[in-house]
A and B are shown apart, each in its own frame.
Chain A
Amino acid sequence: MTTKALMKDPLNLIITGVGGQGNVLISQLIGNALVSQGYLVTIGETYGASQRGGAVMSHVRISKVTQCSPLIPEARADVVVGMEPVETMRVLAGFGNAGVMTIFNPRPVYTMGSGGGAVEYPDLDKLIERIKELSAKTWIVRATEEAQKLGRPILANMILIGGIIGSGVLPLDVKAMELEIQERFPNALEANMMAFNRGMELVGQ
């Protein structure tokens, strides 16, 4: 097994979203694929609010030499994967830096009570602009929209995984990820692979 060189060691990835969206699934699939390629992977999850609509994060740390802390230090994210735009922004605020690369789904999950209430959801166009401003490179993956077109909103996660692999930010090729998807979803392989490939296309692969 030859593990590809990392653009940085450790490579720090944060996957963020709203509880219930499935960020744990994404971190696990990517983490398993990376370990099968010989990397040392450490994943820290925020679990407390995982099913209950709170802000959630998975910290994924990839190294060839060391098992890292499950928590990424402030401002040390290399890649941010956002399943939701406000959460993408929240993570950039705490973990972003001049080199950070961002892949995100622009579909909002509105904050409870927003709309004329005390907790306003920001203007979406401006929010997207600001995410771009804070990122060295940005890929917008309209995962929810595309999943709805495929008739299964749940496939948004697999579309986003396709976007991550397609963007080339991780030392993972299509084949390694496909193997992992096959192992995980033997009974729903076709739909998941279709979603994965759609995600790859969306980032121009």
Chain B
Amino acid sequence: MAGFETDAPGTTQLLMGNEAIARGALEAGIGFAAAYPGTPSSEILGSLAPVAEKMGMYAEWSINEMVAMEAAAGAALFGIRALAAMKQNGTQVVIDFLGNLVMRGLGGGGLVLVSCDDPSAHSSSNEQDTRPVAKWLDIPLLEPGDFQEAKDMTKWLFDLAEEIDNICILRSVTRIAHARGNVKLGELPKREHRVSQRPPVFRGMPPHAGLHQKLARAQEKFESSPFNCYVGPDKAELLIITGGSCWLHSQEAVKALGVEDRVGILKLGTLWPLPEKFVESHLGKSEKVLVVEEIDPFIEQNVMELVANLPLTGPHPTFYGKRSGHINAYGELNPDMVIKAIASILDVSYAPREAEYAKKADEATRGYVPPRRTGFCPGCPHRATFWAMKNALRLDGREGFVTGDIGCYAMAGGPTGFFQTRTIYCMGASAGIANGLGQLWRFGLEKPILAVCGDSTFFHATIPALINGIWNDSNFTLVVLDNSATAMTGFQPHPGTGMTAMGERTHVISIEAICRSLGARVEICDPFDLKNTTAKLVELVAEGGGAKVIIMRHECELVRARREIPPYRVHVDPEICVGAACGCDRLCTRVFLCPGLIWDEKAGKAKIDEVICAGCGVCVDICPQRAIIKEAA
């Protein structure tokens, strides 16, 4: 199948926004890419890494976003075009470095940070907006409004970064990064990457003053950029100013309402610094301006600031948007929300569907669309770990407090993890928070403290907190959920897997060796062995003293299933299952909550859904009647 890297200029492919960004980077002739996986950014490096060798470039999954950004900057220092990609949380981690990088310049290579935001936090712990970071740190920022632009802007940003000797940011959101659309491919440069042999020289100007000059040069280019455009009548009743995926939503909304001759859309792609002259030249088109954008009122406030500085004779439209309440002040937007805002301002009516059908749909669906909770997959080792933890803490009897972290196991605060984790912040925060909690015994806290983290999270941000805990003798147990995968984002390799992004075998960095070298007591369990895992947890939690580590090691089921058939065939023996008479109150289907276990209403007994069951066999050990039977497959 022709991939995104195919050398066929002029042909069109259906590309995910992230693939389009990767293609743009290839067309710009990048030599270096580094990233840490995070939805919705993961497919950028995920696309580049497998083709890196063929394209004569280098690509790596780095241990975390900070190292990815710094490594990419290192390549740029010696003249290699470099890209770092991450989600918004990563960008926040990198701010300290960026704040210093912009003061010093890049050397010879162009450097681009792709920061993918996740409005509504579909796959995130927050929905922070990257755009204010650009304004705060004086970094030019562009945002693509469709898939073609995702490619074209990425390519162009490398030229800009090189020209002004400053890092540039491409901001993308979930509905571009993770959506797909048509992209016409451009030329792939034939270039061999060679470093400049002269070390980078940082020129003249006091750094901050020089930075402002760079921004002014970027702004000048933005004034005539093809990434900004206006569509609509010369005089409009309403002018929409928008960017990113809201450009697509806005066009859809105007069309749905049939108000193309009444509403104009000013689409901005160069968001920081604002192309002020370009915006000003369109502000006179209407006395009403609606700003449509996701998360923070970034465009809205910058345009308002511009208008506040215009002479009294200039355009001073009435603003609608987040401040006026016409656009939500948080969360993702969609065409319906934009339709509603326009309809309200223009006082037009809109009915999404026939009243009769609406009524029928309302009646027909009542009681027929139960909510579908997310949970751990069938066969997931985390379910077993948290089952053991629940029982161990009950046996301990002191209401242990468990801090959570980022990964699939973030769901452990809900029913699928038996409500075991009680906090969720950022990567590495579980052990960090536990450091504090583990000192509170002196103020009367009598609960045992546990912190959970995944294997990739352990490497990413947990190690310093663990060292701190051992150094300062903080009393907590670190539970490392080692499923040998960065499972939440798509199974990327990490330092413990013995593989690099480019598919080369490398050193396996051992979690237990690191922990033992620090002097921690380390236990290793297979969580599928519920009995032993529970006993070990009870023992460690009871031990007291400083920081301890227990590694729950069992491969992610989704990775295992790609390789081999399920280990067991599992069924419920209807002769042994006594159903409601058991007294267990449907422990298997109501509490253990594996999607493979279902309740047969007619028979009043549990059964296995053979299409869903992963054949792990863990449920065999939770049934008080031993009615669940496993046989080697």
Chain A residues close to B by CB (< 8 Å):
18-20, 27-28, 31-32, 34-35, 40-49, 51-55, 66-76, 86-87, 89-90, 92-93, 96-98, 107, 109-117, 119-122, 126-127, 130, 133-134, 144, 148, 153, 183-184
Contact = CB atoms under 8 A, between A and B. Distances in A.
Question: Top 8 A-B pairs ranked by shortest CB distance?
Answer: A115-B599, A75-B353, A70-B179, A48-B122, A54-B374, A75-B352, A69-B248, A93-B365
Contacts of B252: 68-69, 73
B175 A70 contact: yes
Interface stretch (B315-323, B504-512, B516-524, B586-594): B586-594
A111 B370 contact: yes
A75 B252 CA distance: 14
A111 B371 contact: yes
B599 A42 contact: no
A28 B411 CA distance: 28
Contacts of B356: 98
A119 B178 CA distance: 31
A92 B365 contact: yes
A35 B13 contact: yes
Contacts of B249: 69, 71
B123 interface: yes
B422 interface: no
Contacts of A120: 370
A130 B174 CA distance: 34
Interface string B1-14: 11000000000111
| Chain A interface, DSSP helix/strand/loop, else mixed | loop
Contacts of A126: 368
A111 B373 contact: yes
Interface centre among A69, A87, A153 (most CB of B within 10 A): A69
Given A98-B354, A112-B373, A31 B180 contact: yes
B608 to A, nearest CB: 11
Q: Which among A109, A112, A134, A148 has the greatest number of chain B C-beta atoms within 10 A?
A: A112
Interface string B556-567: 001000000000
B189 interface: no
A89 B182 contact: no
25 contacts: A31-B180, A34-B14, A43-B14, A46-B122, A47-B178, A52-B377, A52-B411, A69-B245, A69-B249, A69-B334, A70-B180, A90-B369, A98-B356, A109-B609, A111-B370, A111-B373, A112-B415, A112-B595, A113-B373, A113-B415, A113-B593, A115-B589, A115-B599, A116-B580, A121-B370
Contacts of A73: 252, 256, 334-336, 339, 352
Contacts of A98: 353-354, 356-357
A29 B38 CA distance: 25
Contact of A183 (B1, B13, B590): B1
- Output the residue of B146, B248, B601 with the most chain A CB within 10 A: B248
Contacts of A44: 175, 179
A97 B374 CA distance: 28
A82 B374 CA distance: 19
Given A41-B180, A69-B249, A109-B612, A54 B372 contact: yes
A10 to B, nearest CB: 9
B364 A133 contact: yes
A76 B336 CA distance: 11
A91 to B, nearest CB: 9
A93 B352 contact: no
B497 interface: no
Interface in B140-181: 146-148, 174-176, 178-181
A34 B367 CA distance: 37
Nearest to A38: B12
B245 to A, nearest CB: 7
A121 B609 CA distance: 14
A124 B290 CA distance: 47
**Which of A67, A74, A114, A144 has most B Cβ within 10 Å?**
A67
B179 A113 contact: no
Nearest to B364: A130
A170 B185 CA distance: 26
A176 to B, nearest CB: 13
A131 B339 CA distance: 28
**Chain B CB within 10 Å — which of A49, A71, A97, A144 has the most?**
A71
A99 B357 CA distance: 10
Interface hub of B180, B365, B375, B590 (most chain A Cβ within 10 A): B180
Given A44-B175, A116-B580, 17 more contacts: A40-B181, A42-B181, A45-B180, A46-B122, A47-B123, A67-B148, A69-B335, A70-B175, A74-B336, A90-B365, A96-B357, A107-B611, A114-B598, A115-B586, A116-B599, A117-B586, A117-B589
A151 B4 CA distance: 34
Contact of B370 (A35, A74, A119): A119
Contact of B609 (A96, A110, A127): A110
A86 B370 CA distance: 8
Nearest to B487: A51
B357 to A, nearest CB: 5
Interface in B102-160: 122-123, 146-148
A28 B249 CA distance: 22
Nearest to B596: A110
B334 A71 contact: yes
Nearest to B367: A122
Contacts of A51: 377, 558
Contacts of A113: 373, 415, 589-590, 593
Contacts of A96: 353, 357, 361
Nearest to B147: A67
Contact of B601 (A46, A52, A67, A116): A116
Nearest to B600: A115
A117 B521 CA distance: 42
B401 interface: no
Nearest to B12: A35
B40 interface: yes
Nearest to A90: B369
Most chain B CB within a 10 A radius of its CB, from A35, A70, A90, A184: A70
A45 B364 contact: no
Nearest to A76: B352
A134 to B, nearest CB: 6
A69 to B, nearest CB: 4
A129 to B, nearest CB: 9
B343 interface: no
Contact of B372 (A42, A53, A66, A130): A53
B352 A74 contact: yes
A48 B167 CA distance: 30
A48 B123 contact: yes
A54 B176 CA distance: 22
B486 to A, nearest CB: 13
A90 B372 CA distance: 10
A70 B248 contact: yes
B360 interface: yes
Contacts of B439: none
